[in-house]
Amino acid sequence: MTSIESPLPEKAANFIRNIVTEDLKSGKHRLVVTRFPPEPNGYLHIGHAKSICLNFGLAGDFGGRCHLRFDDTNPAKEEIEYEDSIKENVSWLGFNWGEHLHYASDYFEELYRHAVALIEKGLAYVDSLSAEEIRGLRGTLNEPGQESPHRGRPVEENLELFRGMREGEFPDGAHVLRLKIDMASPNLNLRDPVIYRIKKVEHHRTGAVWCIYPMYDYAHCISDSIEGITHSICTLEFEDHRPLYDWVLDALQLPCHPQQIEFARLNLSYTVMSKRKLLELVQEKLVDGWDDPRMPTLVGLRRRGFTPASIRAFCETIGVGKSDSFIDMGILEDAVREDLNVRAPRAMAVLRPLKVVIEGYPAGETELFDAANHPADPAMGTRQVPFCDTVYIERDDFQEEPAKGFFRLAPGREVRLRYAYIVRCESVLKDADGEIVEIRCSYDPGSRGGSAPDGRKVKGTIHWVSARHAIEAEVRLYDRLFSTPNPGGKNEPDYRSSLNPKSIETLAGCRLEPSLEGAEGESRYQFERLGYFCLDSRDARPGQQVFNRTATLRDSWSEQKR
Ligand code: ATP
Ligand code: MG
């Protein structure tokens, strides 16, 4: 494969980049420290890639560092499988956390100590109401909440109860620890949020050591502070949580107080990105696993043939803003086209073969034609493509009664076989059902290489493979998983009802030029005139190649709309 890197778009300014630039200029920070904080409860998707590129990208561009921190505060839901896949995805995208692989669970002891400090300051209390009762007293956006009868518990009693919670003296749900902020706050997040709950569940990293676990809002800001994060970048839905983020750090008077900055999450048309929906798609076998090439997961995109560079370029193209919007799937597809156009070697493949016998061509003879691996990049070299008296062409490159504007093969007409000869259709053979089974052509021996000796014009050029030398393969034509831009949105009962019935078409018996026989790993090609294809990393075997279509050559979806 080639090592050509397609150019990344210029790094555009955005409001977060401006804040960082300012903070370095003013001396507020000398080093930028960001983090990507996934919860290991699912596979990463293209939305996460936006956050990864932003956090790692900023740190990289400003000579700082970015941590990978697993937000593993919820013991019931997390799994090692997800952690491994997240690490692999981040590396695959081209980012490196160096020594800074962290886990919120590493801070459990420190988080506990801080909670005790908050109790001692009279800023936290143990509440013994049930979750339902707490919810009942929380109030609404228009009505203030009401204080819990346990809010006035003396510090000593709170300390004793919290210690007992840690020691496992109480069953799940018996008590929680809450911050004492303001039950009348217009911001619901500040109405005495719960910061610890009892959960007698083993944690995949800390085992049975803990039976109380901190809540996200509490653990996240302190984890950021412990790690010396300067800019804590998150999505817009956390804007209302920022006062709580700041409240906790102020209350504890921690020396490092990161700045939380919110940006608009990525929403992509023609797909879904909620973890719940992605999990349902997998569990209900509506797709073939997390790495189904139609999934917006990074493992899916990778198997589909997306390159890390194309995903980074996409994230750079869409930019970073403050208002939620939808990005068209076409932009992601364009990003991979643009990248593969530069780096993918060309090859010839016939997906729906039609046999063409070339009359007059010496039987048993093989000729080798030089074919450029890339039309615009001689450094990618050439390969030899064998030719013999029988070739396969694409079924739809022949029309018995050619439509207006059809310049390919038809009875009595000439067409150029790319790199080889000009051929003329002399006869058509059909089976008992009237199905065309074979085309007979004559050829112009003087047109070797493709140009007619007398300079006559031949409009059409088509691709082909030699029947005797071709390898057989399976090719999977993937298309968008959903056929509406906002699956499950307005006027759609459920996102499942918008699944695109044509999102996969599996073609067996495709014929590929023999140079593809040895393709390995994640080899990507442009199959001439057809699109970009990637070897299927899971199902391809030596002698039994399987290719996935990454993208068509052009955006057929926007053409449909026109
Ligand atoms: P959950 O609802 O389970 O929290 P999540 O998608 O937020 O789901 P996380 O593992 O918490 O999953 O996400 C890790 C990081 O990725 C967070 O900082 C989150 O803000 C960011 N992120 C998640 N989805 C998107 C998205 N669509 N666009 C941009 N960033 C995202
Ligand atoms: Mg989250």
Q: Which of 17, 39, 277, 492 is catalytic?
A: 39
In sequence order, what E strands does 382-463 have? 382-387, 390-394, 414-417, 422-430, 436-443, 461-462
Taking the CA of residue 44 as reference, the ligand 1 atom at the shortest distance is: 10
In this structure, which topology does domain 272-307+320-344+473-561 adopt according to CATH? Ribosomal Protein L25; Chain P (2.40.240)
Choose the residue to mutate in 16, 48, 90 for probing ligand 1, maximizing ligand atoms within 8 Å of C-beta: 48
Burial level of 267, CB count in 10 A (0-12/13-18/19+)?
A: middle
Low-confidence ranges of the chain (pLDDT < 50): 1-9, 562
Cα(99) to centroid(ligand 1), Å: 23
Give residue 324's pLDDT.
Answer: 87
Indicate whether residue 38 lines ligand 1 (CB < 6 A).
yes
Residue type, 280: E
Taking the CA of residue 235 as reference, the ligand 1 atom at the shortest distance is: 20
pTM (two decimals): 0.94
Cα(409) to centroid(ligand 1), Å: 52
Choose the residue to mutate in 34, 39, 56, 232 for probing ligand 1, maximizing ligand atoms within 8 Å of C-beta: 39
Indicate whether residue 191 lines ligand 1 (CB < 6 A).
no
The C-alpha atoms of residue 352 and residue 508 are separated, in whole angstroms, by 9
Q: Which of 17, 87, 138, 265 is catalytic?
A: 265
Indicate whether residue 286 lines ligand 1 (CB < 6 A).
no
Indicate whether residue 39 lines ligand 1 (CB < 6 A).
yes
Cα(532) to centroid(ligand 2), Å: 34
Indicate whether residue 275 lines ligand 1 (CB < 6 A).
yes
Closest C-alpha residue for ligand 1 atom 23: 48
Other Cβ atoms within 10 Å of 311 Cβ, number? 25
The C-alpha atoms of residue 299 and residue 292 are separated, in whole angstroms, by 8
In the 8-state DSSP scheme, what is residue 269? T
> What does DSSP say about strands 504-512 and 349-350: parallel, antiparallel, or unpaired?
antiparallel
Give residue 559's pLDDT.
Answer: 58
- Torsion angle, alpha carbons of 252, 254, 259, 261, to 10: -40
Ligand nearest to the CA of 74: 1
Cα(68) to centroid(ligand 1), Å: 13
User: Rounded to 5, what percent of the chain is helix, strand, coil?
Assistant: 30, 25, 45
Any catalytic annotation for residue 322? no
Structure tokens at 374: 């890339």
Closest C-alpha residue for ligand 1 atom 10: 38
Rounded to the nearest 10 degrees, the angle between the axes of helix 308-318 and helix 46-61 is: 80
- Helix (H) / strand (E) element for 127: namely strand 124-127
Indicate whether residue 64 lines ligand 1 (CB < 6 A).
no
Taking the CA of residue 39 as reference, the ligand 1 atom at the shortest distance is: 10
The C-alpha atoms of residue 252 and residue 247 are separated, in whole angstroms, by 9
Q: Which of 17, 138, 199, 275 is catalytic?
A: 275
Any catalytic annotation for residue 265? yes
Going by C-alpha positions, the residue among 394, 392, 391, 390 that lies closest to residue 352 is 394
Residue type, 558: S
CATH architecture of 15-265: 3-Layer(aba) Sandwich (3.40)
Give residue 161's pLDDT.
Answer: 98
Closest C-alpha residue for ligand 1 atom 27: 47
Closest C-alpha residue for ligand 1 atom 25: 47
Taking the CA of residue 40 as reference, the ligand 1 atom at the shortest distance is: 10
Residues β-bridged to residue 471: 512
The C-alpha atoms of residue 431 and residue 445 are separated, in whole angstroms, by 30
Cα(500) to centroid(ligand 1), Å: 26
- Helix (H) / strand (E) element for 32: namely none
Going by C-alpha positions, the residue among 425, 429, 404, 405 that lies closest to residue 415 is 425
C-alpha pair distances (Å), 526 with each of 258, 344, 374, 376, 422:
47, 6, 9, 13, 23
Q: Is residue 536 a contact partner of residue 292, using CB atoms and an 8 Å limit?
A: no
Give residue 562's pLDDT.
Answer: 43
Indicate whether residue 48 lines ligand 1 (CB < 6 A).
yes
Q: Tokens 């797909």 label which residue?
A: 271
Cα(235) to centroid(ligand 1), Å: 7
Indicate whether residue 50 lines ligand 1 (CB < 6 A).
yes
Structure tokens at 207: 């085992």
Other Cβ atoms within 10 Å of 176 Cβ, number? 24
CATH architecture of 349-463: Beta Barrel (2.40)
Any catalytic annotation for residue 275? yes
Indicate whether residue 515 lines ligand 1 (CB < 6 A).
no
Domain with CATH 2.40.240.10 in the chain: 272-307+320-344+473-561, 349-463
Domain with CATH 3.40.50.620 in the chain: 15-265
Rounded to the nearest 10 degrees, the angle between the axes of helix 155-167 and helix 108-120 is: 160
The C-alpha atoms of residue 372 and residue 383 are separated, in whole angstroms, by 7
Contacts of 121 (CB under 8 A, 6+ apart): 251
Residue 246: strand, helix, or coil: helix
Cα(93) to centroid(ligand 2), Å: 20
The C-alpha atoms of residue 490 and residue 492 are separated, in whole angstroms, by 5
Burial level of 555, CB count in 10 A (0-12/13-18/19+)?
A: middle
* Helix and strand totals (H; E) in the chain: 13, 27
